[in-house]
Amino acid sequence: MLLEGFAPIVEAQRAGRAIPGFVAYNLETAQGIVTAAEQTGMPVLIQAGSSAFRHAGRRELALLCLDLARHSSAAIGVHLDHCRSLEEVDFCLEVGYTSVMIDGSHLPYEENVALTAEVAGRAHDHGAWVEAELVGTAGDEDVSSAAIATAMTDPALSREFVAATGIDALAVAIGNVHGFTPVEPRIDLARLERIREMTRIPLVLHGASGLAPETLRACVQRGVAKVNVNTELRRAYLAAVSDALPEARATADLVASLAAGRGAVADAAAAMVRLLGRLEHP
């Protein structure tokens, strides 16, 4: 069933938990995410966004993910991640996405505010909630590389931004980067604490791959209620498909390799769901 409304994110924050947003690229990755939600009995978000659309097709992937969510026994939201296009936002809202992220971090501040406020209004008219950001997260969300965090979210400016735009959740830049790095990124927890105090809305952590459980716990304790997860699932999928390929090639068994990838995604996603669901406990 579709996870509608913003209440589950707020409830997660109050309970000291976080809801994972898992990126889906195709049928098998989306099915693996749904399986993880059903196995754990906990809510998740399928993130079918701009970069994945370039591979699978926007309408095809969006409708596929929505159909899986609607027919699942688990509570699953469908989220548009890292979007910069009003036209794409409108499409996703019209077909039934439960939330959207507008990424205006590349724009001058006033233009970011204007774009984000416009999207917030459109999303709220559709009953969807909105995520945005002031500063982009370093690295490529689709390809793991040794990215280095540079700019950070300014706590005082974040309060102004939230008030001016009407967003529901703020993605923070606090040393986090997309993808795995040779050394765990150094997360600025003091900055995160100040952002929470300034904004008083649920915060979102992009680039959570490779962060230690204690680091994630510290972030959740300081207001992070949604955590984006991508690289762990991609690695699990690719490793499982690679392991299955020799036998699959010998018998031309395409289904076996696809099923292996789907199962690996389900296992990796379920592990992250369980971790984020118990972070309130030391």
**Which residues sit opposite 203 in a β-bridge?**
170, 224
Q: What is the CA radius of gyration of the chain?
A: 18
- How many CB atoms are closer than 10 A to CB 14? 10
Q: What percent helix, strand, coil does the chain show, rounded to 5?
A: 50, 15, 35
Place of tokens 């774009």: 115
Q: How far apart are CA 207 and CA 218, in angstroms?
A: 15
Burial of 186 (0-12, 13-18, 19+ CB in 10 A): exposed
> Considering 67, 81, 90, 154, which one is annotated as catalytic?
81
The verdict on whether 125 is a catalytic residue reads no
Catalytic residues: 81
